[in-house]
């Protein structure tokens, strides 16, 4: 359904130095540096998949999404989605996709949400009957009932995001691109959004590609992740695979009865220590987590233990080290 082959994109960025003198100079003469946003990226996505697209800021996530949604033209490479090349057949192609930019609204700011929806219906030429059905489904699953008559500027971020997602689905697209859909949302809204994405994927078979910095989004939704760093595709596979390859460290936070003897467990390093609390980093390749806890409880009288998996950012940092990026 989606085939991306060897896509590269380079941006020319004007070099700017601070100071008035340089600002004046740059009026006449500019130096540019080439930033390679994407280098030879290829992947294939099948219908009905939910793919999480992750990577640190500036890695090239948004650029890829923008190329796939026909906004940007890549320098090299091909991209065929549903038989279309997005930037060539833009008008025909974009009928089949929905796009949500988490940081940018597609609703008209000053008018009630319902008015925005109706204009979108006209833009996409959705037949009245179909529009009614879709609206009924969206209103119910996203709980939009009371929001429709409210001007967008009065909505909270969570409410707005629900409306944004609804707006991008009015024309029943078969592919949905979500660029940071949970950014800035509270826990309840995040869960609602995730739940909804799951529902439309299951019930309508919508293929979902989402970018995010929230690993919980990925774990809740994506059966597959693509990890990109500095313009290169670093990993393509499922979450467990990524964890077992790179996320082998666990953090144990232990509270115990006062104990002045320092803790010593082979294979684990002490991150911080007080007579009542210790934080340990355990490499599960060297010592099993159960073994580490057993040893720990032999040394101190445990009150509470919390085990945290490594955050995705750490895994990425570790990957970077491995790839020497």
Partner 1 sequence: MRLYFKYMKMIMKSQMQYRASFLLLALGQCLTPFTTFAGLYFMFERFGQLRGWSFYEVALCFAVTQLAFSCAEVFGRGFDVFSSLVISGDFDRLLVRPRSTVVQVFGSRFEFARLGRLLLSAAMLVWAASNIEVDWTLLKMMTLVLMVVSGIVIFLAIFILAASVSFWTVQGLEIANIFTDGGREMTSYPLNIYQKWVKRVFTFVIPFACFNYLPLLYILERDGGGGHPMYALIPLAGFLFLVPCLLVWRVGVRHYRSTGS
117 C-beta neighbours (distance < 10 Å), count: 21
Q: Which residue of 45, 50, 54, 72 would you call a contact of partner 1, by CB under 8 A?
A: 72
Q: How many CA atoms lie within 13 A of 235 on its CB side?
A: 26
Pairing assessment for the beta strands 2-14 and 76-81 based on DSSP bridges: antiparallel
| Per rule CB under 8 A, count of chain residues that contact partner 1 | 33
Q: Which residues contact 36 (CB under 8 A, 6 or more apart)?
A: 8, 9, 10, 231
* Interface region with partner 1, contact rule CB under 8 A, candidates 116-124, 138-146, 202-210, 275-283: 116-124
Q: What is the DSSP string of 261-277?
A: SPP--TTEEEEEE-SSE
- Say if CB 160 and CB 102 are below 8 A apart: no
Check residue 313 for interaction with partner 1 (CB under 8 A).
Answer: no
Check residue 111 for interaction with partner 1 (CB under 8 A).
Answer: yes
Q: Which residue of 95, 198, 204, 213 would you call a contact of partner 1, by CB under 8 A?
A: 95
Q: Which residue of 115, 255, 291, 314 would you call a contact of partner 1, by CB under 8 A?
A: 115
Complex with partner 1: residue 52 or 70, whichever CB lies closer: 70
Phi-psi map region of 131: left, alpha, beta (phi>0 left; psi -120 to 50 alpha)? alpha
Give the phi and the psi of residue 191 in degrees, each rounded to 5.
-65, -40
Complex with partner 1: residue 90 or 321, whichever CB lies closer: 90
- Angle subtended at Cα 48 by Cα 1 and Cα 194, rounded to the nearest 5 degrees: 130
Residue list 118-147, contact with partner 1 (CB under 8 A): 119, 122-124
Complex with partner 1: residue 57 or 324, whichever CB lies closer: 57
Residue 122: CB minimum distance to partner 1, A: 5
Q: Two tokens at 280?
A: 């340990």
Q: Which residue of 23, 46, 73, 294 would you call a contact of partner 1, by CB under 8 A?
A: 73
Check residue 16 for interaction with partner 1 (CB under 8 A).
Answer: no
* Interface region with partner 1, contact rule CB under 8 A, candidates 98-106, 191-199, 255-263, 266-274: 98-106
Check residue 196 for interaction with partner 1 (CB under 8 A).
Answer: no
Check residue 179 for interaction with partner 1 (CB under 8 A).
Answer: yes
Residue 144: CB minimum distance to partner 1, A: 19
Residue 183: CB minimum distance to partner 1, A: 10
Check residue 28 for interaction with partner 1 (CB under 8 A).
Answer: no
Give me the helix-helix angle, 157-167 and 113-124, nearest 10°: 20
Check residue 101 for interaction with partner 1 (CB under 8 A).
Answer: yes
The number of angstroms, rounded, from the C-alpha of 324 to the middle of its chain's C-alpha atoms is: 23
| Percent of residues in the chain assigned helix, strand, coil, to nearest 5 | 35, 30, 35
Binding mask 148-177 for partner 1 (x = CB under 8 A): ---x--------------------------
- Say if CB 301 and CB 257 are below 8 A apart: yes
Q: Looking at the DSSP assignment, which residues form a beta bridge with residue 225?
A: 52, 237
Q: Which residue of 41, 50, 51, 62 would you call a contact of partner 1, by CB under 8 A?
A: 62
- Angle subtended at Cα 291 by Cα 285 and Cα 294, rounded to the nearest 5 degrees: 155
* Interface region with partner 1, contact rule CB under 8 A, candidates 84-92, 158-166, 238-246, 264-272: 84-92
Q: Return the DSSP state at 145.
A: T
Binding site for partner 1 (CB under 8 A): 11, 58, 62, 66, 69-73, 87, 90-92, 94-95, 97, 99, 101, 103-104, 106, 108-111, 115-116, 119, 122-124, 151, 179
């Amino acid at each position: 359904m989606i085939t991306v082959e060897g896509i590269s994109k380079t941006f020319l960025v004007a070099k700017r130095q601070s100071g008035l003198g340089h600002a004046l100079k740059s009026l006449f003469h500019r130096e540019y540096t080439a930033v390679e946003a994407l280098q030879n990226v290829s992947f294939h996505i099948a219908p009905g998949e939910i793919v999480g697209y992750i990577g640190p800021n500036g890695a090239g996530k948004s650029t890829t999404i923008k190329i796939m949604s026909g906004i940007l033209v890549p320098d090299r490479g091909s991209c065929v989605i549903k038989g279309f090349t997005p930037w060539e057949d833009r008008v025909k192609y974009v009928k089949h996709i929905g796009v949500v930019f988490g940081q940018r609204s597609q609703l008209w700011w000053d008018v009630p949400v319902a008015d925005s929806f109706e204009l979108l219906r006209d833009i996409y030429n959705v037949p009245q009957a179909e529009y009614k059905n879709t609206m009924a489904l969206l209103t119910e699953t996203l709980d939009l009932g009371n929001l429709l008559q409210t001007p967008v500027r009065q909505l909270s971020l969570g409410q707005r995001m629900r409306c944004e997602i609804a707006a991008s689905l009015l024309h029943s697209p078969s592919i949905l691109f979500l660029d940071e859909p949970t950014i800035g949302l509270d826990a309840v809204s995040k869960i609602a959004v995730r739940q909804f994405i799951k529902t439309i994927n299951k019930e309508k078979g919508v293929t979902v590609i989402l970018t995010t910095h929230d690993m919980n989004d990925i774990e809740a939704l994506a059966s597959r992740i693509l990890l990109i760093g500095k313009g290169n595709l670093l990993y393509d596979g499922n979450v467990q695979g990524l964890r077992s390859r790179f996320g082998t460290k666990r953090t144990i936070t232990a509270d115990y009865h006062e104990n002045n003897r320092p803790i010593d467990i082979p294979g684990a390093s002490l991150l911080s220590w007080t007579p009542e609390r210790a934080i340990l980093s355990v490499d599960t390749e060297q010592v099993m987590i159960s073994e580490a806890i057993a040893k720990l409880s032999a040394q101190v009288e445990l009150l509470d233990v919390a085990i945290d998996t490594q955050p995705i950012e750490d895994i990425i940092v570790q990957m970077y080290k491995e790839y020497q990026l």
